[in-house]
């Protein structure tokens, strides 16, 4: 009995200890549950909701690009595409084979689809083909029972209503590369494109917009169950360009199939009203898919359709450079406006003879007459007296050899050589180099846009800066009058002297470009021709009359140039034309510039106002 009582006492104590332990455990559990459910309930509810709801970004619509009158130059259109859900077909290969029978796939499309199927989970859709037309969509839908896992979806793509007509200004878009992605999650979204050239590239951040968000209900493995909420993205800003599309198209029709460039500028505010390059290319192909055959065709074309000749084509300016040399001589005091220089048809420097284009020379010439007749010997001598560094300093003031400040990517600065530049390349500058540069040959190079800016600055005396962007989201982006640009610090009488010489080129008897006369009542044009050689002509060939550039193969003929401004008494517009291997500026470039100026003055786009809604949009 005593032992039994002892055992009962031990059991009772153990039971009490066990109960105490259970009570402590239950108390701790209760405290924990209270904290989880009451104190931290909101936190865990949010975590649970996050596991159930997946928030995903939506690519924003890209901003539109319009011309100065609201004509859409780049917009967005629907892009129908075929997607494949691997989990909904038992035989992916058979499905793709059937799809290929209905809508043929390129080898690179097949390789891409196979690669994405290997890397993606089976419930994630893979794009099989984009840019489906109506017939292709119909074939897919009619044969849907034979295409398990294939569905037609809609996205957006960039649309260029005028195609090649504006390719070099507007540019084009393409899928972002790995180097583009960085820390911006928007660039990783399906269907997002980035600008690769032109305005599309220069204003990429303005055009891109802000991403939207869609909330999707998903299961434990991430499969989408249904869409819960959607907030569309904010479209990119609309860009209004300075371009007059109808003027642009008119100039392109004039240039035809020549390898050429023409620029029209408003002298008073720097607006580029037209900037043409021929030949051109279709920018939409970079988005929809560029074939190897097309790429080879473009890159092997000796007329270089992919290059924006207006901003990236560099050419010896030829005789159009003579105004800069004359101004440099006037500023340096090495000549005065009435000083005369004799032209016997050549100038000798040691054993080297530099020829004038007129074999027997022009005789005694002053600055006005030398510009009118485009006498080479006069400007050889002015350049020799003035020196290349003083010529370069003046040329730089007029935008030659420096950045024009245009709001386009890839614009080149050409070349205005100096003695220091020559030394950096391991050579000493010599007088013969200066003489060659005196007529815009030698090392001197300029773009058509620089030549138009140069002409605008001569016409106005102000440091006008060219630009193609007029509005961003409705806000003006540049100066609106000459007062917004500083004076060039060049005496007005010097500028008046070269303007008068340019006037004589076109309007006085014996001038070098009579074909450039406007023929508009009360309006006259002032301009200057240029023909820049691309290969050296021997002294023997010149002196024996065996040189005829028109008989040379196309690629060896001189470039034809002409720059001008009008009206002469109140300059408003400047035009620069460069025809690659066009031979004679007076015969080829000058009539083109005249017709372009006539069209510009008739349209008068800088002063023309279009009522809101007058121009219909062809894209969204």
Residues that are catalytic: 319
**Strand 239-241 versus strand 65-66 pairing type:** parallel
Residue 74's beta-bridge partner residues? 65
Q: Give me the half-sphere count of Cα atoms (radius 13 Å) on the Cβ side of residue 270.
A: 27
Instruction: Provide the Cα torsion 593, 598, 599, 605; round to 10°.
Output: 110
Q: Which two tokens stand for residue 357?
A: 């284009």
Alpha helices (H) along 54-126: 92-102, 107-119
Could you tell me if 270 and 469 are in contact, meaning their C-beta atoms sit under 8 angstroms apart?
A: no
How many residues would you count in the chain?
Answer: 620
For residue 61, give both structure tokens.
Answer: 């619509």
Which structure tokens are listed for 492? 């007005």
CB 528 within 8 A of CB 319: yes
Query: Could you tell me if 488 and 460 are in contact, meaning their C-beta atoms sit under 8 angstroms apart?
Result: no
- The neighbour count for residue 43, using CB atoms within 10 Å, is 10
Q: What is d(CA 375, CA 383) in angstroms, rounded to the nearest whole number?
A: 13
What's the CA gap between 475 and 287, in Å, rounded? 29
As beta bridge partners, residue 460 has none
Neighbours of 348 (CB within 10 A): 9
Which residue in this structure is represented by tokens 């074309």? 301
Buried b or exposed e, range 186-213, using 16+ CB within 10 angstroms: bbebeebbbbbbbbbbbbbebbbbebbe
Chain-centroid distance of CA 241 in Å reads 12
The strand ranges marked E within 161-294 are: 173-174, 194-195, 212-218, 224-231, 239-241, 260-266, 272-278
Phi, psi of 36 (to 5 degrees): -70, -45
**What is d(CA 69, CA 72) in angstroms, rounded to the nearest whole number?**
9
**Between the CA of residue 203 and those of 187, 442, 465, what are the distances in Å?**
15, 37, 18
Distance CA 137, CA 240 (A): 35
Q: Rounded to 5, what percent of the chain is helix, strand, coil?
A: 45, 20, 35
**Alpha helix stretches (DSSP H) within 387-467:** 388-397, 419-424, 431-437, 448-460
Q: What is the bridge-based pairing of β-strands 469-472 and 475-476?
A: antiparallel
Q: What is the CA radius of gyration of the chain?
A: 36
Q: Token pair for residue 458?
A: 């001569």
Candidates 530, 401, 407; CA nearest to 465 is: 407
């Amino acid at each position: 009995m005593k032992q039994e009582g002892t055992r009962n006492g031990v059991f009772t104590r153990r039971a009490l200890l066990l109960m105490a332990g259970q009570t402590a455990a239950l108390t701790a559990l209760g405290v924990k549950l209270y904290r989880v459910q009451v104190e931290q309930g909101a936190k865990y509810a949010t975590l649970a909701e996050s596991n159930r709801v997946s928030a995903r970004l939506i690519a924003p619509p890209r901003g539109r690009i319009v011309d100065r009158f609201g004509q859409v130059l780049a917009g967005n259109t629907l892009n129908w595409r075929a997607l494949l859900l691997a989990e909904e077909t038992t035989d992916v290969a058979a499905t793709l084979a059937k799809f290929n029978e209905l809508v043929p796939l390129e080898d690179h499309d097949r390789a891409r689809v196979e690669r994405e199927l290997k890397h993606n989970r089976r419930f994630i859709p893979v794009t099989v083909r984009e840019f489906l037309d109506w017939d292709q969509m119909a074939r897919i839908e009619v044969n849907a029972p034979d295409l398990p896992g294939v569905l037609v979806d809609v996205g957006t793509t960039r649309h260029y209503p005028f195609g090649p007509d504006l390719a070099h200004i507007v540019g084009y878009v393409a899928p972002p590369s790995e180097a583009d992605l960085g820390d911006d999650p928007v660039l990783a979204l399906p269907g997002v494109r980035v600008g690769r050239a032109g305005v599309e590239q220069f204003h990429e951040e303005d055009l891109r917009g802000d991403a939207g968000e869609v909330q999707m209900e998903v299961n434990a493995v991430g499969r989408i169950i249904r869409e819960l909420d959607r907030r569309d993205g904010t479209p990119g800003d609309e860009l209004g360009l300075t371009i007059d599309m109808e003027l642009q198209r008119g100039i392109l029709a004039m240039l035809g199939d020549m390898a050429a460039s023409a620029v029209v500028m408003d002298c008073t505010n720097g607006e580029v009203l037209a900037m043409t390059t021929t030949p051109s290319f279709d920018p939409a192909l970079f988005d929809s898919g560029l074939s190897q055959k097309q790429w080879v065709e473009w890159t092997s074309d000796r007329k270089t359709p992919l290059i924006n000749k207006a901003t990236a084509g560099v050419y010896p300016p030829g005789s159009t450079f003579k105004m800069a040399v004359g101004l440099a001589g006037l500023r340096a005091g090495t000549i005065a406006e009435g000083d005369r220089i004799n032209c016997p048809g050549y100038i000798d420097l040691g054993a080297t003879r530099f020829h004038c284009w007129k074999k027997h020379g022009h005789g005694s010439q002053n600055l006005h007459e030398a510009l009118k007749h485009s006498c080479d010997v006069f400007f050889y001598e002015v350049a020799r007296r003035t020196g290349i560094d003083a010529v370069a300093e003046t040329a730089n003031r007029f935008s030659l050899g420096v950045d024009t400040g245009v709001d386009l990517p890839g614009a080149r600065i050409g070349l205005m050589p100096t003695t220091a530049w020559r030394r950096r390349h391991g050579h000493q500058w010599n007088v013969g180099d200066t003489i060659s540069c005196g007529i815009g040959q030698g090392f001197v190079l300029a773009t058509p846009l620089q030549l138009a800016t140069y002409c605008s600055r001569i016409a106005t005396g102000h440091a006008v800066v060219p630009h193609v962007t007029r509005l961003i989201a409705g806000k003006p982006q540049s100066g609106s009058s000459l007062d917004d640009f500083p004076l060039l610090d060049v005496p007005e009488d010097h500028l008046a002297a070269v303007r008068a010489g340019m006037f004589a080129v076109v309007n006085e008897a014996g001038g070098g470009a009579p074909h450039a006369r406007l023929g508009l009542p009360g309006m006259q044009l002032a301009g200057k021709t240029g023909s820049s050689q691309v290969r050296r002509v021997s002294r023997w060939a010149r002196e024996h009359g065996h040189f005829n550039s028109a008989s040379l193969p196309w690629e060896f003929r001189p470039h034809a140039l002409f720059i001008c401004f009008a009206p002469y008494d109140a300059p408003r517009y400047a035009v620069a034309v460069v025809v690659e291997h066009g031979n004679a500026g007076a015969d080829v470039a000058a009539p083109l510039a005249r017709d372009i100026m006539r069209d510009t003055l008739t349209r008068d786009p800088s002063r023309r106002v279009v009522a809101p809604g007058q121009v219909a949009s062809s894209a969204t």
